[in-house]
Structure 1
Amino acid sequence: MTDIPEHCPGTQSETAGKVSACQGCSNQQICASGEASKIDPGIELVKAKLTTVKHKILVVSGKGGVGKSTFTSLLARSLASKNENHNVAILDVDICGPSIPRVMGVLEEKVHQSGFGWSPVFADENLCVMSIGFLLQSNNDAVIWRGPKKNGMIRQFFTEVDWGDCLEYLVIDTPPGTSDEHLSLAQFLKEVPNVTAVIVTTPQEVSLLDVRKEIDFLKKVKIPMLGVVENMSTFICPKCKAKSDIFPANTGGAEKMAEELDVPFLGNLPLDPVIARCCDEGQNPIEECSQSAVILNLNLIVSKILDKLNVDPKHSVDENCRS
C-alpha cells in the first residue's frame, strides 16, 4: 500500500506482521493472522457519523512545544467568530497531554451522556470542545495507554460524540509525532471527505526537521495540506513593541521549507506574552487582544484557509441549523 508509512508493510501485504519492522508493534499478532486486512466496521461508522461535518481540519506538527494547541484554539475561535450561525467544534486527540480544556477556559467541565452520545462542552454559543481531559477524575491524572486503547478512544470520539447535524468545522488538535494517534486518524478518516491539515512549526531548524517528517507522513496517507503556519516567528515586546528573534530562522524558516517541499505557506504568528496569558487563563484572545499582531496575522491566515476550502464565511446556512 502507498498510503501508509514506509516502516509498515501494510495490512494487505502478505508480509504483514511477519517482517522486522513489525517487531514490537501492538498490532503484530492481528496483522500476522490476516484479520487486519478485513474491512474495519469502525471506518464505515466514522464515515457515516461525520457526513454532517462539512470540514475536518487537522492541526499537526512533528515537534512538541510549537504552540499547536494554542493555534487550534485561535483557529476555532476565529472560525466561530466569522459567522454566528456556523457551528464549530474542537476535538482534542492529544490523549496523553490534553491541554485544549484549559486553553478554551472549560478545564473544570465534564461531559454528559444522553441517548445521542456524549455531549461536548460548549465554550461559546457556537463553539464546543471534546477532550479526554473531561473524562479524567483529576487534571493531574496520567493517561498511560498503549496504541490499541488510544485507537479505541479516538474512534469513540468520532462515533459517540453528539456533534449535531450542522457542524461547519471540526478542528482536530493532534499530539506531536507520527505515531499511534496519527495512524488512527489516517485510518478512520481515509474514507471521509473534506479532510485537510494545517502544519504548525517554529522557525528554528530543530523544529523544521521534525515538521518535514510530518509533511512526509501527510503525503503518504494522502491528507491534503492547506499549508504551513510559522508560530513564534518573532517576539514583540509589549512595552516598546521592539521585535526580537527568540527562535532564529537560520535556514530560512518555515517559508523556505514550505517552498522546498512544495507546500503552501499560510503566514506567521509572533510570540506575544499577552496572548499566552489569555490562553493560560482560558480567555478569548480574539476579543481581549483584537489589535494584537498575533490576531491581525491570524485573520490573514484564516482568510487564506477559507479561500483554500472555497468557503465564504458569511454564507447562509439551512434554517434547521440556526439556533
Structure 2
Amino acid sequence: MSSVASVEAAIPAELSGLVRSVRVADGVATIVADASGLGRSAATQLQKELEQAVAKVPGIAEVRVALMVDKPKRRIVAVGSGKGGVGKSTLTANLAVALARMGRKVGVVDADIYGPSQVMLLDPARGRPRAEGNTLIPVESEFGVKLLSMAQLVEPGKAIAWRGPMVGQALTQMMEADWGEADTLLVDLPPGTGDVQLTMLQKFKPAGAVIVTTPQDLALIDATRAIDLFAQSNIPVVGIVENMAGYVCPHCGESSDPFGAGGGEGAAVSLGYPFLGRVPLAMGIRVASDTGQPPAANDGADGAAFTAIAARLAEWLDKQPA
C-alpha cells in the first residue's frame, strides 16, 4: 500500500525543495508545490515532472498537483475616448513604450475588437501569440511591450462580424492571458460606450482611465460622455490628453491649429480632472506610427510629448494603494 513516505521518496531531489505538502488517500496522491517566481512554462514543467514521478509509485492510481504562485500586482489602465479618430491607439502604444523605457513591465490589450490597430503600431511582423491550454501567451514586441490583439488572431483584412457575447469572450480571453511579470496593462478601448467598455468596467475594474480628445468641440462633447461612463462605474479618471494639438508647417515653420486650440485643457479644468498634456499633429508621428516605430521608442522631438504624459501616468500609478 502506498504511503506519504513512498511518494516523497519518488520525488526527484531537485524538485523536493519546492514541495510543501504531500497527502495520500484511497490511491490518490495530492501534492502542493511552490511555483512562485516561475514562468508559466517552468510551472507547467514542474507539474508534469511531479505527476510522472509519483505516478510510478505502486498503489497510486491518480496524481493531483496544486501549484502555489504569486499573483502579480498588476494595474489596468483603460485608454478611452468618446469617438473614433482622435489618436487613442497611437497614444496607447506610445505610452506603453515610454513606460517600458522607464523600467516598467507593460502589456497592451487591443480591445478594439472590430478595428484592431496595435499590431501595426507596435509589431508589424512579430507573428501570432501561442496558447497553452486555454490560455494565450502574448507576443513581446521589440520595444519590450507584450501585446495581444485580434489582428494577431484573424486573417489580415478579414472583417470581424461578432455579436456582443462573442466580443466579451474575446476580451476576457485577452485580459486573462498569461501576462507574466507585467505590472501595468494598458487597454486600448474602442470608441464610444458599448459592450467592450461595459465588460471591461464590470469584470476587470481598471485602476484608472486616460481620456483622449482633440481640441474641437465635437470631440470634447463625446469625451465628456466617456468620462461619465467611467464616473458611473467609480473608475478614477487619471486625466485628459489633447491630441492633434497644433501643426507646424515643415516648409515655412508657421504654426496653425486645424482642430482648434486648448479645448482638451479647458475641458480638464472645467470638469475638474488633471490635464496630462498635448500631442502635436506632426508628420513624423504619423510616419513612425505607420511603420511600427513608435516615436516614444527614442529621444527625438516627436516622442517627447508621449514621454511626458507617460511620466505623469507613472506618477499617478505610484500614488495608488498597492
TM range (shorter): 0.7 to 0.9
Secondary structure at the aligned position of 1:133 is classed as helix
Q: Does 1:206 align with 2:218?
A: yes
The structure that has the greater radius of gyration is 2
Secondary structure at the aligned position of 1:310 is classed as helix
Secondary structure at the aligned position of 2:265 is classed as helix
Separation of aligned partners in 1, 2:281 and 2:170: 33
Q: Residue type matched to 2:183 in 1? A: E
Identity of aligned residues (%): 36
What does 1:160-309 align with in structure 2 at a 5 Å threshold? Answer: 161-164=177-180, 166-190=181-205, 195-249=207-261, 252-287=262-297, 290-292=299-301, 294-309=302-317
Aligned with residue 140 of structure 1, among 149, 153, 157: 157
TM-score (norm 1): 0.73
Q: CA deviation at 1:169?
A: 1.0
Q: Does 1:76 align with 2:96?
A: yes
Q: Does 1:101 align with 2:119?
A: yes
Task: Give the aligned CA root-mean-square deviation in angstroms.
Answer: 2.1
Secondary structure at the aligned position of 2:277 is classed as strand
Query: Is the contact between residue 50 and residue 158 of structure 1 (CA under 8 Å) also seen in structure 2?
Result: no
Q: Which runs of 4+ in 1 moved over 6 A?
A: none
Q: Residue type matched to 1:74 in 2? A: N
Separation of aligned partners in 2, 1:123 and 1:242: 37
Aligned with residue 128 of structure 1, among 146, 169, 175: 146
What stretches of structure 2 of length at least 5 have no aligned partner? 1-68
Secondary structure at the aligned position of 2:243 is classed as strand
Query: Is the contact between residue 53 and residue 170 of structure 1 (CA under 8 Å) also seen in structure 2?
Result: no
TM-score (norm 2): 0.74
Q: CA deviation at 1:54?
A: 2.4
Give the corresponding residue for 2:19.
none
Q: CA deviation at 1:105?
A: 2.5
What stretches of structure 1 of length at least 5 have no aligned partner? 1-48, 313-323
C-alpha change, 1:268 and 1:130, in structure 2 (3 Å) is: same
What does 1:13-52 align with in structure 2 at a 5 Å threshold? Answer: 51-52=71-72
C-alpha change, 1:311 and 1:291, in structure 2 (3 Å) is: farther
